[in-house]
């Protein structure tokens, strides 16, 4: 079976060397030396400051909202993984869906502006597939309406825009470090804050609200363990090789399929991390035929994302987001991972371009 993704497992002996340090120092969590080392190395690699490691990407979003005082409503995209919305609801914040840009598939700044009302305190755009949003437009909107901006950058590890990390934009940007991502810690997440004082407060929040042995804030437990940090350190040792492998897979798809399929429009000036390979079919019926053909061959792409969140029962919205609903019916993410066999990729490509509707 060929899944849509497969986690990268770094060298086992190297991983055990990092784990050996946990046994030597007898510290397994609570901001231990491996977590501190991973934080420092990630800040250097990504070119950011105020990076906070947490237990997973959903908690990263929730901690960011809590730290920044988001309440009432937050404008976000219906074209995303459900955690973007569910994290808001868990914090008592109502997601307000605005439609997406028809080319980039990211939240439209124009549509987001139209959705602002007095109860809105934040905008939560998503860098979909690692493709940066129109961050300058959202920055202007936030300043005009005194709103917080929290970027869900779950897909955007290592992406740069005009030479700078995309994670520097907004009041906060969050990463998922889940096993399916380009860079992972098995389970994990991170938040990058613009302001040091926000980072300091979030440090308290993820440790039950403690500071210097006293409870001074309303906290929770969202810390990353040393064993997860060990995986992150090992992954970071191999990140250049991972990136090179994914790049080769990505461009093999791109060169073979670019004349047959519509693809998202990439933000000019942005790099790629080769996290996903989405293609857009002319119709949902065409997509379903292709999916069936691939499944019969033991290949399992994913409808990522489907359905549009404004159509999900517990997320329903009064707003009709026509572009999001259309794209969710036509987009399919092909198998995309560093060690995808060449023969398998060729099978996927030939199956797609041989279908009758192409």
Share of the chain above pLDDT 90, in %: 96
Determine the pLDDT at residue 314: 77
Query: If you count them, how many residues does the chain have?
Result: 358
> Which residue in 36, 267, 64, 53 sits closest to 166, CA to CA?
267
Task: Let me know: does 207 contact 223? Beta carbons within 8 Å.
Answer: yes
Map out the domains of the chain with their CATH numbers: 12-237 (3.40.640.10), 239-353 (3.90.1150.10)
pLDDT(313) > 90: no
Furthest-apart CA pair in the chain: how many Å?
68
CA-based angle 47:188:162, to the nearest 5? 25
Radius of gyration for the alpha carbons in the chain, expressed in angstroms and rounded: 21
CA-CA distance, 237 to 231, in Å (whole number)?
10
Answer yes or no: is pLDDT of 358 > 70: no
Query: Which residues are paired to 192 by β-bridges?
Result: 51, 173
Q: Phi/psi of residue 178, each to 5°?
A: -70, 160
Is-contact 241 17, C-beta < 8 A?
Answer: no
pLDDT value at residue 357:
53
Q: Which helix (H) or strand (E) holds 73?
A: strand 73-76
Question: At residue 130, does pLDDT exceed 60?
Answer: yes
Residue 269 or residue 317, greater confidence: 269
**Are the CB atoms for 348 and 299 separated by under 8 Å?**
yes
Q: Tell how strand 214-215 and strand 210-211 pair up.
A: antiparallel
The first and second tokens of residue 89, run together, are 């609801």
pLDDT-derived band at 213, boundaries 50, 70, 90 = very high
Q: How far apart are CA 99 and CA 130, in angstroms?
A: 18
CB atoms within 10 A of CB 268: 8
What is the average pLDDT across 138-164? 98
CA distance 349 to 217: 54
Which tens digits make up the pLDDT trace of 224-252? Answer: 999 999 999 999 999 999 999 999 999 99
Q: What's the pLDDT at 334?
A: 98
CA 122/CA 148 separation, integer angstroms: 4
pLDDT of residue 86: 96
Q: What is the pLDDT of residue 155?
A: 98
Tokens of 147: 């709103």
For residues 132-158, give the mean pLDDT.
Answer: 98
3-state secondary structure (DSSP) of residue 279: strand
pTM metric for this prediction: 0.97
Q: Quote the CA–CA distance of 104 and 257 in Å, as a whole number.
A: 18
Check pLDDT > 70 for residue 93. yes
Query: Which residues are within 8 A (CB) of 216 and not within 5 positions of it... i.e. 6 or more apart?
Result: 204, 209, 210
Give the pLDDT of residue 318.
72
Q: Is the per-residue pLDDT at 356 higher than 60?
A: no
Give the model's pLDDT for residue 319. 77
**In a 10 Å sphere around its CB, with 0-12 CB exposed, 13-18 middle and 19+ buried, how is residue 248 labelled?**
middle
| pLDDT tens readout for residues 261-275 | 999 999 999 999 999
Q: Which of 131, 121, 125 is nearest to 111 (CA)?
A: 125
- Tell me what the mean pLDDT of segment 203-210 comes to: 97
Output the pLDDT for position 181.
Answer: 98
For residues 342 and 339, give the distance between their C-alpha atoms in angstroms, rounded to a whole number.
9
């Amino acid at each position: 079976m060929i899944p849509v993704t497969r986690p990268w497992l770094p060298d086992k002996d190297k991983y055990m060397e990092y784990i050996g340090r946990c046994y030597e120092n007898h510290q397994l969590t609570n901001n231990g030396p491996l977590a501190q080392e991973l934080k420092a190395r990630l800040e250097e690699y990504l070119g950011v400051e105020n990076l906070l490691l947490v237990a997973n990407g959903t908690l990263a979003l929730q901690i960011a909202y809590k730290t920044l005082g988001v309440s009432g409503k937050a404008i976000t995209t219906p074209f995303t993984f459900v955690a973007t919305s569910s994290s808001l609801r868990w914090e008592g914040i109502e997601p307000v869906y605005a439609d997406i840009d028809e080319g980039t598939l990211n939240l439209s700044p124009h549509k987001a502006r139209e959705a602002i009302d007095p109860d809105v305190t934040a905008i939560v755009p998503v860098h979909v597939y690692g493709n940066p949003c129109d961050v300058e437009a959202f920055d202007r909107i936030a300043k005009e309406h005194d709103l917080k901006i929290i970027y869900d950058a779950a897909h955007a590890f290592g992406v740069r825009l005009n030479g700078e990390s995309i994670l520097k934009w907004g009041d906060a940007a969050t990463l998922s470090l889940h096993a399916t991502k380009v860079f992972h810690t098995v389970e994990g997440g991170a938040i990058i804050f613009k302001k040091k004082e926000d980072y300091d407060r979030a440090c308290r929040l993820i440790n039950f609200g403690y500071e210097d042995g006293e409870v001074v804030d309303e906290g929770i437990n969202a810390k990353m363990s040393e064993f997860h940090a060990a995986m992150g350190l090992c992954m970071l040792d191999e990140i250049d090789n991972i990136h090179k492998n994914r790049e080769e897979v990505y461009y093999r798809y791109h060169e073979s399929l670019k004349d047959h399929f519509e693809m998202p429009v990439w933000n000019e000036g942005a790099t790629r991390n080769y996290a996903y390979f989405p293609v857009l079919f002319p119709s949902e019926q065409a997509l379903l035929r292709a999916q069936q053909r691939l499944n019969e061959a033991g290949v399992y792409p994913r409808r990522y994302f489907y359905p549009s969140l404004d159509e999900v029962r517990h997320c329903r919205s009064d707003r009709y987001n026509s572009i999001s609903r259309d794209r969710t019916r036509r987009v399919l993410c092909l198998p995309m991972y560093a060690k995808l066999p060449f023969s398998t990729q060729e099978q996927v490509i030939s199956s797609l371009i041989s279908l009758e509707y192409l």
